[in-house]
Amino acid sequence: MLVSWNWLTQYVALDMNREELENRLAMSGLNHEGTESVFDDLAIDLEVTSNRPDCLGHIGVAREIAVLYDLPISFPNPNPTAAGPPADSEFTVTIETPELCPRYTARIIRGVKIGESPQWMQDQLRTVFLPVSRDWKPVNNIVDITNYVLMECGQPLHAFDLAKLQGQQIKIREAADGEEFEAIDHHVYKLSPGMCVIADANRPVAIAGIMGGADSEVGDDTVDILIESAAFSSMATRSTSRALNLHSPSSYRFERALDPEGIEWAANRACELILEHGGGTLDEGLIDVGATNWKPEPVVMRLSQIERILGISISVEEVKRILLALGNTENSSDKSSITITPPTWRRDLMREADLLEEIARIHGYEKIPEDVGVPMAASFKSDWDRIAAKLRTTMTAVGFDESLTASVVPNAWTQTYSPWSDKAPLRTISPMLKGADALRTSLVPSLLEVRRINQSLANPDVELFETAKIYLPQEQGLPREQWTLGITSGQSFYHLKGVIETILSSLKVNGRFTIESTEQDLLHTDYSASLRLNGEHFGFIGEVDAAGLKTFSLRSPASIAEIRMDLLVQNSTLIPQHSQLSSFPAITRDLNIVVAESVRWDALETSVLSAMDADILEDITYQETYRDPERDGTDMKRVLFTVKLRRNDQTMTNEEADKVREKIVSAIESQLDGKLLG
């Protein structure tokens, strides 16, 4: 809201320093955005929050200044002389849609002389309009006066050329579907039901509260005029304005809760100024249809609440002074409370809490201390936070950078990889970013897109992870939001599997981690698998296949993995327990086993475990696999591994170790048909 310094002085004396005034206004609710000189005047830009439409006019701002500086204030009290016949004798107004337009008033002035508005008015309008629109020019006395009154009190007005209103009537109705309307800006707007129009007998002549029509506006040949001053639904004004992408000073104000008393005041003020600067004869009375049916209710302000909420005490006298200066009227008061009725222009004052804010902002927030002793309280770090922090430490230690990517992705991405859900992803009505309207069901496509971006930047090493939610649709209600760790690497399946195993070891995850080959979209048929923890679906891993690389325009190999973070949190050990370490030396035995290709390492491992007491086996280390088809036959492989043995009670002898080794060999022989080499 731009206000003119000179304009304000009509209502309140501005003897204070300008910067100090700007600062005090900012500190009491009208944030100062800037000040600009416009000829010999100043345009002060104040930000007005949506609860304060009373400050969308100079009078409202002047009132604030008067309260802050405890100054007297004087406003015009318009009382135009009506010498014509009753306004409603030849003209009718009907409201068909009271929910869109609760009240409509019209005044008629006949025989006006169109000309320039007075210089002082042009100057003041120039101050508030020129900074916004550099090609702004005054129009004529009638239009300038309606704009002047708008900027004076905040109530929008519209002047029609009475001769151009067909059928001697105005009808406020809903727009018909597809109805076309040419506004003063000479654009043609296509209207639709739900929008409110001001119509004459045959056609719309204004979009209610937003803009008048090109063919009913006041021009040089206008003689008789109709001044509209009305109340329109704020919601309908907002949605119409949005739908048409047509915003005006008028619509901006109707979107807020305006002073119902302002309707008549503004109409009178405009008539008075028109009679003074444009001549003519005012018809008797106001055509007044409908009612706003709102009046302010008394509010009780309990003095005890001031200290309870604000934390400071303010004297009763000061509380009263502030409330009354703001225009509230005192109904009654006693030792503990004051009952007031708010003014009609402050529809935001309905409750004690609202009055508290008024008292606080006028009294001054700087008086609230910033060094009170807030009691101490224990805070708790959740297991979740602890695990997530450890997880990030591990991931960065193994060389992965953390990335953050958008939760909403192009729908096509969700088709490429969605291992957690086969339901269609949830969609947003409007896209978040260009073409992105699907709530992702996997982090993998986003991470592959990041690989592509880095590839385009010629970054060679792209090792990334992200911890974020994925959104898995359910049969009904809110989706399941699954915290997920996504990883992408330029390295192999085994490298990535090693990363996951490192995470499990770093978080001391309890339970059985198993892996099984599965075919998945996007991934290489063989080099991919699904992961389980204690039998539950835990995650997915694999190398992206050639088609997948092509889908994401990737030129070099990529692998991905995705795991559920909730299972990590459930199964991690946050407080590890010490166990007594054996003080006796360990002894190792290497085993070189020939088995069929179909025997997986996990089967061998299980077999080894079955062959001995778990408490003497410290470690099984896989070494390598090689093949010698000439000696062993086809479809056979040699797997070399080492077992590390240790006893708690004494040194393990070579003989004991050899016995264990024999047991292992026979277990493998009987269970897996494998045999020891050598």
Partner 1 sequence: MALQEFLDQLEQLVSEAESTFNSAENTDALEEARVEFLGAKNGKLKSVQKLMGTVGSEDKPVAGKTFNQTKGRIENAFESASARIKGGDGDTTRDTKFDSSLPGDRFKLGRIHPITQTIEELKDIMGRLGFSTADGPEIEDDWHNFVALNIPDDHPARDPLENFYLATAEANSGEKNPVNLLLRSQTSTVQIRVMEKTKPPIRIISLGRVYRPDTADATHYPMFHQIEGLMIDTKVTMADLKSVLRLFATSYLGDDVTIRFRPSFFPFTEPSVEADYYWNNQWIEFGGAGMVDPNVLQAVGYDPEEVTGFAFGLGVERLCMRRHGITDIREFYKNDVRFLAQF
Q: How many CB atoms lie under 10 A from the CB of residue 534?
A: 14
**For residue 117, which of 282, 280, 277, 271 has the smallest C-alpha distance?**
277
Stretch of residues binding partner 1 (CB under 8 A), selected from 14-22, 122-130, 353-361, 552-560: 353-361
Stretch of residues binding partner 1 (CB under 8 A), selected from 142-150, 174-182, 188-196, 470-478: 470-478
Contact yes or no for 274/111 (Cβ under 8 A): no
* Among 216, 248, 407, 414, contact with partner 1 (rule: CB under 8 A): 407
113 or 631: CB nearest partner 1? 631
Rounded-to-integer distance, Cα 143 and Cα 266, Å: 14
626 contacts partner 1 (rule: CB under 8 A): yes
| Contact partners, residue 370, CB within 8 Å, separation at least 6 | none
Contact yes or no for 446/405 (Cβ under 8 A): yes
58 or 440: CB nearest partner 1? 440
412 contacts partner 1 (rule: CB under 8 A): no
Footprint (CB under 8 A) of partner 1, residues 355-374: 356-357, 360-361, 365-366, 368-374
Tell how strand 408-410 and strand 436-439 pair up.
antiparallel
Footprint (CB under 8 A) of partner 1, residues 246-285: 255
Total residues binding partner 1 (CB under 8 A): 99
* Among 132, 201, 291, 389, contact with partner 1 (rule: CB under 8 A): 389
Rounded-to-integer distance, Cα 65 and Cα 12, Å: 8
Footprint (CB under 8 A) of partner 1, residues 87-116: none
547 contacts partner 1 (rule: CB under 8 A): no
Rounded-to-integer distance, Cα 229 and Cα 146, Å: 10
**For residue 52, which of 340, 248, 252, 257 has the smallest C-alpha distance?**
257
Stretch of residues binding partner 1 (CB under 8 A), selected from 76-84, 155-163, 259-267, 375-383: 375-383
Unique residue bearing structure tokens 């085993």: 591
461 contacts partner 1 (rule: CB under 8 A): yes
- Please, which residues bridge with residue 227 across strands? 107, 159
* Among 18, 187, 351, 495, contact with partner 1 (rule: CB under 8 A): 351
Rounded-to-integer distance, Cα 306 and Cα 367, Å: 13
475 contacts partner 1 (rule: CB under 8 A): no
Rounded-to-integer distance, Cα 306 and Cα 320, Å: 13
Unique residue bearing structure tokens 């009227």: 329
Footprint (CB under 8 A) of partner 1, residues 32-71: 49-52
Length of the chain: 678
350 contacts partner 1 (rule: CB under 8 A): no
* Among 83, 163, 574, 677, contact with partner 1 (rule: CB under 8 A): 677
Stretch of residues binding partner 1 (CB under 8 A), selected from 13-21, 326-334, 392-400, 507-515: 392-400
464 contacts partner 1 (rule: CB under 8 A): yes
163 or 389: CB nearest partner 1? 389
In Å, how far are 181, 196, 546 from 214, measured between CA atoms? 9, 17, 63
* Among 377, 546, 581, 614, contact with partner 1 (rule: CB under 8 A): 377
148 or 400: CB nearest partner 1? 400
Q: Which of 19-36 are b and which e, b meaning 16 or more Cβ less than 10 Å from the residue's Cβ?
A: eebbebbebbbbebeebe
Footprint (CB under 8 A) of partner 1, residues 576-615: 590, 592
Q: Can you say whether the dihedral through the CA atoms of 522, 524, 525, 529 is positive or negative?
A: negative
* Among 96, 185, 402, 526, contact with partner 1 (rule: CB under 8 A): 402
